[in-house]
Amino acid sequence: MIETRTLRVCETFTSIQGESSYAGYPCFFIRLSGCNLSCSYCDTEYARTEGEDLEIGELIKRATSSGIKLVEITGGEPLLQSNCIGLVTALLDSGFRVLVETNGSQDITPLDPRAIAIMDIKTPGSGMSDKMDFKNLYRLRSQDEIKFVITSKEDFLWSMEIINRYSLSERKVLLSPAYQRVEPAELAAWMIEEKTGARLNLQLHKIIFGDRRGV
């Protein structure tokens, strides 16, 4: 049964959702271990190696105990673990709304169609833009969201080109200033000048709690 399957889990915690169109809502987080990328601005390096093996049933129990119906599965890169798909479905079947934050390098097709993928397309400033599976941009469902982390004006212009090339302007597109590398006001000014339909995406949890883990 699904509930007996295990995943390598870095941490679970309850906080305020800091990003995406769900920013500001209380959320239960399941951070899975392991990542196939090494972004220049990574703020969860510890998730690459730390973790314990937990059964899906235990994770459902923790989510239920939180009393919160919004769950985000993140990483690392959660889709590296095949049992992540079973976890997503089990959470959805248990009545949770499920966000899956993925780095854009893994095929999102196996995800339960009820889940919400938040796909982080890596910009050149991340050092990982060549690792993207751009076919994922054709696999997006109507509820999914796309995020670009911007480290420079060059990253911003590259992101605008990708948005135009893949006709993403009608989708939920988020532009996030890389922490301590681009000022929010600077990115906002570029967005206004470009007249983009994308949404400014600040890391609300860092504004509230500071740059520390488990929040």
Per domain, the residue ranges of the chain are 2-209
Residue 212, pLDDT score? 65
- pTM for the model stands at 0.92
User: How would CATH label the architecture of 2-209?
Assistant: Alpha-Beta Barrel (3.20)
Q: Mean of the pLDDT values across residues 46-53?
A: 94
pLDDT at residue 204 in the model = 76
Which strand (E) or helix (H) includes residue 90?
A: helix 83-93
The H or E element spanning position 101 is: strand 97-102
In this structure, what DSSP letter does residue 105 have?
A: S
C-beta of residue 160 within 8 angstroms of C-beta of residue 194 = yes
β-sheet bridge partners, residue 20: none
pLDDT digit string, tens, across residues 171-207: 999 999 998 899 999 999 999 999 999 999 997 777 7
**H-helix segments, 94-203:** 136-139, 153-165, 184-194
What whole-number percentage of the chain has pLDDT above 70? 94
pLDDT at 94 over 90: yes
Residue 1: pLDDT over 50: no
At 3, the pLDDT band (50, 70, 90 cuts) reads very low
Taking the C-alpha atoms of residue 128 and residue 23, their distance in angstroms, rounded to an integer, is 25
**What are the contacts of 209-213 at 24+ separation with CB within 8 A?**
209/15, 211/43, 211/179, 213/11, 213/44, 213/46
**How far out from the chain centre does Cα 92 lie?**
18
